[in-house]
Amino acid sequence: MPGFSRFYPWDETLHWHKRSVKASALEPRPATVLAFSPMAERSIKVLLVSLMTPEDSEASPLGAACAAAGLVGAGLLQKEDILILSPSTSSPSQETLDKVLGKNPGLVGFSLYCWNSVPALELARELRRLRPSLLLVGGGPDAEALAEKGDSEPFDAVFLGEAEFSFAQWYAQTLNTEAPTPRLSGSAAFPQRDLFIRPGPSQGRELPSPWLLGILAPTPGSALSWELSRGCPYRCSYCYEGRSSNLVRHLPQARIDAELALFVQAGVSEIFVLDPTFNIDKNRMLRILKTLSTQALGIGWNFELRAELLDSVQAEAFTRLSCFVQIGLQSSSPEVLNLNGRSFDVEKFSSGLTLLNKKGVVFGLDLIYGLPGDTLEGFRASVDFALSFSPNHLDVFPLALLPGTSLKRRSSELGLQYDPNPPYLLKQHPGYSAKDMKTAGKLAAALSCFYSRGRAVPWFLALLHALRLSPSVFLESFVPPRNWESLEQLEIEALQCAHAEKVFTSMGKAELLPAALDLIRFNGAWSRALAEGRRTVLKLSYSLKDVEGPEILSLAAFTSRKQKSPCSAEILPGKEGPHARLLRGKRS
């Protein structure tokens, strides 16, 4: 939860759907910056460290900033007394250590996540060795691993859950400050022996805003994460959200309005709303969307939704914004999801996605492989179900048994074997062998490369219909190269064309191949013009007019009715969007 424990790295995956792209997700952007100067000459009283993965190096350290806001909001420190460092996990540890020691802090806090806790703990232990008297504290989701072991070393205190108020209270007590000691409602002072501090969700007190206190400051063109509420009503066994309480607490409208005005004035380009289920309260969601559509049209928006809650009014409201929505599916099996504490209504889920497609709202889906009760065949069925809706992208993850979750507590009962070290990935369970996990991982990689990063949405199902193959069967025969994550779209397009040629030929459908390749290449060029502003020259087997038209999506019928008319064309970016132009020959 927020405080030390809240930080969500956003996905820089290309948002491509039906020739629509959020270009802002493709280019480097200046990070949200800290409002206080990191070059201050005087010693820093509190230094907070939030190690970032290289791909999230531009992200703002929101969790640490919320913890800092607790100190500033309580009147214990000025924002100039606090420094937040967010070095990359790939940075030399000695370099980070020198930065920390160079500021001569009185207290160092660490935000712990499954992707950074190993190097963070190494850094904290080295600080303890070099400066035994230095106060060290930790918090964040992966602090739960320390609590499970009952070992707080090397920290003087570990904060579990929301940390704004509990951290401020502990700080005031420990340092015997003259400022009034902030108290949680009805709480007593922390006994000195309490190394693990887990307050309940804050109620009846207004959470301090790191944005309005100036701890974080948005910059022009930046992307940032923004929370409008806390808590989750659902009890998914594998998820951190809602693990301590199913109470959803909305932040005050006055705070939301003030923060939004700050973001708009700063010229922020993209905002990721952190609410785990943005549409849990329909009326509130519609009010917020109306505000965003009238006051922040220049910002790209990202939301997480529950598809079963969607209706036509909600879907229509999203069309008034430049936005993208992410929806957790995890599995298409109601039985598997029920075993993991998640309800699933296939009919309502399908209806919700159909509404988004009809309204042209760009959306992505999530899947998890290795869930208790699931099998490799069940995962393949989930892939087929998810891709039948043509999501912008499909994010697939192996199951992780995260500390503090109910699934982790039931791991022995369910026969789950997993890596005890971060990121705690499942190795196998009775329904999923180690070999099955490896096979699922290969399918996930093929899907991510060919479909999501390859921007295959506009033509993917057209190819499958012509081949009469399921998505999982088609993708399992595609083997991406080892470096696929670093490939540009044009390089992936070459792989897509080669795989299409292989499959169409092996299935005796070579006569459809020229049209299929035209379809792939034309849409790839269109996406590059839209997303990257790139010009592409194409050699087409059919006329440009035919390739641009909708008939080509029915490859067999198209090939039987249309004559080949080879031509050269270029796809160009433009102010009103991409456009195609014939270079040689005539339009048919």
Question: d(Cα 414, Cα 399) in Å, to the nearest integer?
Answer: 14
CATH at 115: 3.40.50.280
Question: d(Cα 143, Cα 145) in Å, to the nearest integer?
Answer: 5
Three-state secondary structure call for residue 498 = helix
Q: Is the peptide bond before 423 cis (omega within 30 degrees of 0)?
A: yes
Contacts of 92 (CB under 8 A, 6+ apart): none
- In a domain? residue 209: no
Q: Is the peptide bond before 154 cis (omega within 30 degrees of 0)?
A: yes
- In a domain? residue 11: no
Q: What are phi and psi of 413, to 5 degrees?
A: -60, -40
CATH at 335: 3.20.20.70
- In a domain? residue 185: yes
End residue of a domain, out of 420, 453, 486: 453
Q: Examine the domain organization and report whether 433 and 460 are in the same domain.
A: no
Q: Examine the domain organization and report whether 171 and 263 are in the same domain.
A: no
Whole-number CA gyration radius for the chain: 26
Question: d(Cα 363, Cα 323) in Å, to the nearest integer?
Answer: 9
Contact present, 365 and 388 (Cβ < 8 Å): no
Question: d(Cα 547, Cα 440) in Å, to the nearest integer?
Answer: 35
| pLDDT (tens place) for every residue of the chain, 588 residues total | 333 333 322 222 222 233 233 322 333 334 445 544 343 344 689 999 999 998 887 788 999 999 999 999 999 999 999 999 999 998 888 999 999 999 999 999 999 999 999 999 999 999 999 999 999 999 999 999 999 999 999 999 999 988 999 999 999 999 865 545 444 433 444 444 569 998 876 665 789 999 999 999 999 999 999 999 998 989 999 998 856 667 889 999 999 999 999 999 999 999 999 999 999 999 999 999 999 999 999 999 999 999 999 999 999 999 999 999 999 999 999 999 999 999 999 999 999 999 999 999 999 999 999 999 999 999 999 999 999 999 999 999 999 999 999 999 999 999 999 999 999 999 999 999 999 999 999 999 999 999 999 999 999 999 999 999 999 999 999 999 999 999 999 999 999 999 999 999 999 999 999 999 999 999 999 999 999 999 999 999 999 999 999 999 999 999 999 999 999 999 999 998 999 999 965 444
- In a domain? residue 7: no
- In a domain? residue 123: yes
End residue of a domain, out of 147, 167, 197: 197
Contact present, 107 and 72 (Cβ < 8 Å): no
Question: d(Cα 431, Cα 339) in Å, to the nearest integer?
Answer: 13
Q: Examine the domain organization and report whether 308 and 422 are in the same domain.
A: yes
- In a domain? residue 205: no
User: Position 170: which residue type?
Assistant: W
Question: d(Cα 158, Cα 141) in Å, to the nearest integer?
Answer: 11
End residue of a domain, out of 453, 479, 495: 453
Q: Examine the domain organization and report whether 175 and 271 are in the same domain.
A: no
The total of structural domains in the chain comes to 3
Q: Examine the domain organization and report whether 460 and 318 are in the same domain.
A: no
Question: d(Cα 473, Cα 446) in Å, to the nearest integer?
Answer: 11
Q: Examine the domain organization and report whether 308 and 438 are in the same domain.
A: yes
Q: Examine the domain organization and report whether 237 and 224 are in the same domain.
A: yes
Supply the range of the domain harboring residue 582: 455-588
Q: Examine the domain organization and report whether 136 and 258 are in the same domain.
A: no
Q: Examine the domain organization and report whether 350 and 413 are in the same domain.
A: yes
Question: d(Cα 289, Cα 275) in Å, to the nearest integer?
Answer: 14
Q: Examine the domain organization and report whether 291 and 419 are in the same domain.
A: yes
Q: Examine the domain organization and report whether 333 and 371 are in the same domain.
A: yes
- In a domain? residue 551: yes
Nearest one of 439, 440, 436, 361 to 397, comparing CA atoms? 440
Question: d(Cα 384, Cα 434) in Å, to the nearest integer?
Answer: 22
| Assigned token pair, 437 | 């996990």
Question: d(Cα 271, Cα 268) in Å, to the nearest integer?
Answer: 8
- In a domain? residue 25: no
Q: Examine the domain organization and report whether 297 and 164 are in the same domain.
A: no
Whole-structure pTM value? 0.89
Torsion of CA 159, 161, 165, 168, to 10 degrees: 20
The CB density around residue 573, as the number of other CB atoms within 10 Å, is 18
